[in-house]
Chain A
Amino acid sequence: MVSSAPILAARGVSKAFFGNPVLRSVSISLEPGRIHALLGENGAGKSTLINLLSGALRPDSGTIEIDGRAVSRHSPPEARRAGIAVVQQELSLTNSLSIAENIGLGAYPRRFGLVDYAALAARAKAACDLVGLHEPLATPVGELSLGRRQMVEIAKALYRKPRVLILDEPTSSLSATETRILTALLEKLRGEGIAILYISHRLDEVMQLCQHVTVLKDGTCTADRPLEGVTAAGLVRLMVGRDPGDLFPRWDSTRTERIAVSVGKFSAGLMQDVDLEVRAGEVVGIGGLVGQGQEDLLLGLYGAIPARAASAVINDASGLPSNVPQANSRGLAYVPADRKREGLHLIHPIVTNLMLPSFARMPALKLRSRAKERETAMGLALQFAIKGDLGRAAQALSGGNQQKVALAKWMPLDPSVLLLNDPTRGVDVETKREIYAMLRAFAASGKAVVLLSSDTPELVHLCDRVAVVRDGRIVSLLERGDLSEEAIVAAAMGAERERQAA
């Protein structure tokens, strides 16, 4: 097999954060004149790998090689000198500066110590022409749409004449025309011998554009091969699949006929015109790629962000709650994903955290009974197996125990609908098992559980039904019988089931 020497390569790199391994001995090599796709589910380790390649992070073990030589101290300036340019998902632009000033930022041409605006204009214009940006160079970036800003970001990378171009989901905010321009551009750059790493969730794009693919799953490499002869379905299979072991409780249907939540043409935030029905006693999963609007669905139902619906019935009363206290009094409870910022008050004692929702229910000026609070909190701690002295600050707890506190605090209100936002993110395996058992137990006791999760196996093994969200719509509602990781990921990525229908 003929292959040219890689410009940039990682050899057996591993990386762990706080003892959680994120990458385990992953290798990847970027060769000139090749568009290399990097695929993987949320949290598979793609971003970490990019950060290692661009010098933003150092590997715990393994090496990064540039032109075949191992670099011992890889750093962002080092990477820039070696001609590695990264187009990150979060933009690195400054709104108040012009397009040209943004493109040249950090690498301005100089004359007599000043920015050489004439040279900057010429070089920035060349970069803009490549990506089809025809706005005047003096336009402040703040006046551009998100898609155009993304193009500025790409022009900024090209301005530095890179030998390696890493693009992290560049098309997520681009229009169809812009995507076409980018595709043609990448083909052209490939012809000029640039090595390109392309991260995308759009499989059709990847199939069309790339020659080689690396697939990550849970921090390990499951494929590193030419794309020739691979189908979209084959790629999806490489991304998913994990031995669930005995992590999940046995699933029995506890679904009842009583409707807990029913909304029609519901819109909130990114979510547009969604229909959803949740019965008492069932767990309904909300799946999809991160940031497609799933969170807005929960927050809208909870009255935390403005929402509207053509029809809405929650616990036999019609209408959506317009604020959080109203939602609570109608039997809704929400457990946020970011427990450190939204779920808990870290510096306050565990007992206070556990009692906080109950305080909201008490008459504002009634004296508190410490003994009673303690008793209730002790009961909750026992029920949820929260380990630790209740008088200590919540931040002293492990991530798993913090999550249990964030969940347990709602129980005194006896909510009939639980809205859970990624409750097992960053939680150890043992606590996951406990949380899964609790969720099924809630359902068995007649509560309705809405489980938003970025962990696909969780959705498959816990849920009665899973709604897959893409671009603010529920694109697929999978019944228990149809649930599989392949089906969920395929729906989330648009690697369609249309073919099945056809």
Chain B
Amino acid sequence: MSHASVSSTARFGSLYWAIQAKRNIGVRGLFVVVLAFMVAYGFLFHGLFTGSGFAKFTQSWFPLALVAMAQAILMLTGGISLAIGALVSLGAVLAATTMTGPLGVAGGAALVSLVGLGIGAVTGVIVVKLRLPAIVVTLAGSFIIAGAALLVLPRPGGAIPPWLSDLLAGNTPAAFGVLVVVVLLWKLYLATPLGLSLYAAGENPVGAYRSGVPVDAARIAAYAISGLLCTGAGLFVAAQTGSGDPIIGNSFTLNSIAAAVLGGIGFLGGQGTMRGALAGSLLLSLMISVMFFLGFTPVAQYVAQGLIIIGAVAIPQFRMRAR
């Protein structure tokens, strides 16, 4: 590792990279586990390392990665959202009802983004400014948003232009490319003062406030970004299935929490990293696929997922107590 020598020399521009290297330390173990699962999955499913196999796998991972990020941002601020699934559904039905209409693909995508940002921002204002518990506000919000999705499209239907479906969910790794761009944008956000404040605002809000951090703004921005990621995931899910379904997002709420927790994001705020959450979502995605190939019934999969979440929460606790 080079960071130790770098920061002691005068090459100050490398402070950023030294900090990034330090952030890997907590998630190295997780990366190893993910790699092991990847190899196991490669054995079960030989097509993984072909072009289309990789494309298909990353497509099944992509929406989970987005909602894991959406959940992780909020958990880093000390919040949580139970409206993730409903927002995914809303994004999906909005995309399926507008993209073949007069708005077109660009207009539809803009609408989906704006609705996600808007609902997220409103939720953030309610939670942060009115000082209401996030878990209650987002649970209530999930019913309102799910209702809105049903109003837009009461039963599965609508359509996504086939070329868009082919582009995002065809045989090319376009989804993976989009994910790389999303991650890069996140790194950029985290390099702004507001983005970096997220950690301080989540872990030590009083200290952050005293230090001059705009704590409220950082938290509200996190809710808005989280909403955008959710409806974006919904758009992708609609493209995958070629149509809209008002309840398609339901399973994402629990899975987003599972992925974030697997990735080492703590419930108390400010603990964990986004790369951890992404690795967590990849691990969860692999586990779901492996269970599928091993012939687990859907019910058994839910039981296994529940056990995995409890285990993921318990392991760091036990490790801390052992110290």
User: Chain A interface (Cβ within 8 Å of chain B)?
Assistant: 56, 76-77, 80, 86, 88, 90-98, 100-102, 105-108, 110, 113-115, 117-122, 125, 136-140, 156
Contact = CB atoms under 8 A, between A and B. Distances in A.
Nearest to B5: A136
Contacts of B271: 96
A2 to B, nearest CB: 36
Contact of B212 (A101, A107, A121, A125): A107
A491 to B, nearest CB: 34
Given A96-B199, A113-B192, A138 B15 contact: yes
B114 interface: no
A479 B188 CA distance: 67
Given A76-B212, A105-B200, A156-B211, 8 more contacts: A92-B204, A92-B207, A92-B208, A105-B197, A107-B211, A117-B16, A117-B19, A138-B3
Most-contacted residue by chain B among A94, A98, A105, A121 (CB, 10 A): A94
B192 to A, nearest CB: 6
Interface string B170-204: 00000000000000000010011100110110011
B213 A105 contact: yes
Nearest to B20: A138
A108 B18 CA distance: 18
B184 to A, nearest CB: 13
Given A105-B211, A108-B193, A118-B12, A94 B204 contact: yes
Contact of A121 (B3, B4, B12, B199): B12
Interface in B1-16: 3-4, 7-8, 12-13, 15-16
A268 B204 CA distance: 29
A115 B192 contact: yes
Contacts of A121: 7, 12-13, 15
A92 to B, nearest CB: 3
A305 B208 CA distance: 32
B323 interface: no
A76 B212 CA distance: 8
Chief secondary structure at chain B's binding surface: helix
B151 interface: no
Nearest to A76: B210
B46 interface: no
B212 A138 contact: no
Contact of A106 (B8, B18, B21, B208): B208
A414 B206 CA distance: 44
B124 interface: no
Most-contacted residue by chain B among A93, A98, A106, A139 (CB, 10 A): A106
B199 to A, nearest CB: 5
B22 interface: yes
B18 A114 contact: no
A88 B22 contact: no
B4 A136 contact: yes
11 contacts: A56-B210, A94-B199, A94-B200, A97-B200, A114-B188, A117-B19, A136-B7, A137-B18, A138-B7, A138-B19, A138-B22
Interface string B302-315: 00000000000000
Contacts of B197: 105-106
A451 to B, nearest CB: 33
Contacts of A118: 12-13, 15
A115 B19 contact: no
B196 A108 contact: yes
Interface of B: 3-4, 7-8, 12-13, 15-16, 18-19, 21-22, 188, 191-193, 196-197, 199-200, 203-204, 206-213, 270-272
B15 to A, nearest CB: 4
A138 B192 contact: no
A121 B207 CA distance: 21
Most-contacted residue by chain A among B3, B193, B197, B203 (CB, 10 A): B193
A91 B206 CA distance: 10
A341 to B, nearest CB: 18
A437 to B, nearest CB: 40
Contacts of A86: 210
Nearest to A77: B212
Nearest to A101: B196
B23 to A, nearest CB: 8
A115 B193 contact: yes
A137 B15 contact: yes
B270 A95 contact: yes
Nearest to A110: B193
Contacts of A113: 192
A105 B22 contact: no
A106 B218 CA distance: 12
Most-contacted residue by chain B among A105, A113, A115 (CB, 10 A): A105
Nearest to B21: A138
Given A97-B196, A114-B191, A91 B12 contact: no
B210 A92 contact: yes
Given A105-B213, A117-B13, A136-B4, A93 B18 contact: no
A114 to B, nearest CB: 5
A100 B199 contact: no
Contacts of A88: 210
B16 to A, nearest CB: 4
Contacts of B203: 94-96
A307 B130 CA distance: 44
B212 A80 contact: yes
Nearest to A134: B8
Contact of A97 (B7, B21, B191, B199): B199
A99 to B, nearest CB: 10
Contacts of B7: 121, 136-138
List 9 A-B pairs, minimum CB-CB distance, nearest first.
A92-B207, A106-B212, A121-B12, A138-B18, A106-B211, A121-B15, A136-B7, A117-B16, A94-B200
B314 to A, nearest CB: 21
A86 to B, nearest CB: 8
B208 to A, nearest CB: 7
A88 B206 CA distance: 12
Contacts of A114: 188, 191-192
Contacts of A94: 199-200, 203-204, 207-208, 270
Nearest to A54: B210
A101 B19 contact: yes
Contact of A93 (B15, B21, B207, B272): B207
A122 B197 CA distance: 20
B208 A117 contact: no
Nearest to A109: B193
